[in-house]
Structure 1
Amino acid sequence: MNLQRKKSICVYCAHRDGTKSSYLQAATDTGNMIARNSMRLVYGAGNVGLMGEVANSAQSGNAEVFGVIPKHLLEQEIGKKDIDTFIITENMHERKKIMVLNSDAFILLPGGFGSLDEFFELITWRQLGLHSKPCFIFNVNGYWDPLLKLIENQISEGFVQSNNKNFYSIVNTIDELETKLIQALS
């Protein structure tokens, strides 16, 4: 009898679709990949945009879905209540903490300020030695290139150590993400 628990993958992404169909496709592919590998999705519990797409795709593949949403976003992000675990928090801080504590690895898909906030808090916690979980930037069609350039500038200007780039992996395709994620969790 195998009592090993499923690996939980946290996905940070937008509650909007964005301007390119490739963003929505990346969310679909990510949800499908999580399901295909019998993993659990941990995400922000929204039912709109990339968030809704990654959850619906994971659910379609019979993946377990664990969602966390602050009460003030229930209407805006249309809280997706038809998931395995649906948690409502008082605030964003609780949401982020619960998501991190219930995840084995993290994926950043295209998103806005909220996605950046979640990802940078995660990287800061890694820098402070609070976790050593694998983190992936899914750079769909170069979406995150400006962010990666900013980080390079922070390094060259002496505000970030160059070895901090080891805290995350950059992937450009779903196949690359799947391969590196499985390797990191082995």
Structure 2
Amino acid sequence: MQTSLSSHNLQSVCVFCGSSDAADPDFLVDAARLGEALAQAKLTLVYGGGGVGLMGACARAAHEAGGKVLGVIPDFLVARERAYDEVETMVVASMHERKRMMFERSDAFAVLPGGVGTLEEVVEILSWRRLGLHAKPVVFHNPKAFWSPLFELLQHTVDQSLTPPDFMRTFSAVERIEDLVPALRAAVPTGPDTVPAAMRVT
């Protein structure tokens, strides 16, 4: 899998985010604004396929703004997360297959507020970055310091010599939703592919 691309070739963004309609209303508004921004930037939204919470807000806004959207959802969550069937949706057999498909179909990752599921998704992506399996940009939206406790924990693992210091440069964060797409473009690798073929996630 090719992992090095120019910002002009950034074509798809995977959005990890919460699926709760009880989330902070500001987070739901921001998710919709990101969906609109991705559509305006001609970037395909790849997401977890649900029609609820931040997921649904982002997908609906992207679709209504004329953007391309791909949902990936395991069959056992189709009813629970109310799959958004107004867009292309792939129904898969497991959470593992869902995450792998989202990874394969995306050039970069945007992380909005979410619960333990979102946390699990992004930690896996960051772990793969740590292992040199990919070089895709990862940018957090950190409104109201939502993700700051996670950043502090990651720094703590660095301070305890359990994680190398350069790991903290494998992701970035923005406070304003309008800065997310520019930050993703800025984080795209510009040099030749430095990920050994034998180590790429395929």
What is the TM-score normalised by the length of structure 1?
0.92
Q: What is the aligned partner in structure 1 of residue 113 from structure 2?
A: 110
Alignment map for 1:13-162 (pairs within 5 Å): 13-83=17-87, 85-162=88-165
Q: What is the aligned partner in structure 1 of residue 195 from structure 2?
A: none
* Worse overlay, 72-81 or 98-107: 72-81
Q: Output one character per residue of 1:81-114: Cα deviation in whole Å (capped at 9) or x when no partner.
A: 110x211111000000000000000011000111
SS of the counterpart of 1:136? Answer: strand
SS of the counterpart of 2:69? Answer: strand
Conserved in 1, the CA contact under 8 Å of 2:155 and 2:168? Answer: no
Name structure 2 gaps, 5 residues minimum: 1-7, 191-202
Name structure 1 gaps, 5 residues minimum: none
Conserved in 1, the CA contact under 8 Å of 2:10 and 2:107? Answer: no
CA 1:152/1:5 → structure 2, altered by over 3 Å: closer, same or farther?
A: closer
In 2, Cα distance between equivalents of 1:98 and 1:70: 11
In 2, Cα distance between equivalents of 1:175 and 1:69: 27
Q: What is the CA-CA distance between 1:17 and the residue it aligns to?
A: 3.3
Q: What is the CA-CA distance between 1:181 and the residue it aligns to?
A: 1.8
AA in 1 matched with 2:177: I
AA in 2 matched with 1:116: L
Conserved in 2, the CA contact under 8 Å of 1:6 and 1:38? Answer: no
Q: Output one character per residue of 1:33-69: Cα deviation in whole Å (capped at 9) or x when no partner.
A: 1011011000000000000000001011100000100
Q: What is the CA-CA distance between 1:145 and the residue it aligns to?
A: 1.2
AA in 1 matched with 2:67: A
In 1, Cα distance between equivalents of 2:14 and 2:96: 16
In 2, Cα distance between equivalents of 1:18 and 1:172: 21
CA 1:56/1:126 → structure 2, altered by over 3 Å: closer, same or farther?
A: same
Q: Which has the higher contact order (CA 8 A, sep 6+)?
A: 2
CA RMSD of aligned residues (A): 1.5
SS of the counterpart of 1:62? Answer: coil
Residues paired across the two proteins, number? 182
Q: What is the aligned partner in structure 1 of residue 184 from structure 2?
A: 181
In 1, Cα distance between equivalents of 2:10 and 2:187: 14
* Worse overlay, 154-163 or 173-182: 173-182
SS of the counterpart of 1:111? Answer: coil
CA 1:19/1:47 → structure 2, altered by over 3 Å: closer, same or farther?
A: closer
Q: Output one character per residue of 1:130-173: Cα deviation in whole Å (capped at 9) or x when no partner.
A: 11000011101111111111111111112111110111111111
SS of the counterpart of 2:86? Answer: coil
Q: What is the aligned partner in structure 2 of residue 12 from structure 1?
A: 16
In 1, Cα distance between equivalents of 2:66 and 2:9: 16
In 2, Cα distance between equivalents of 1:87 and 1:69: 6
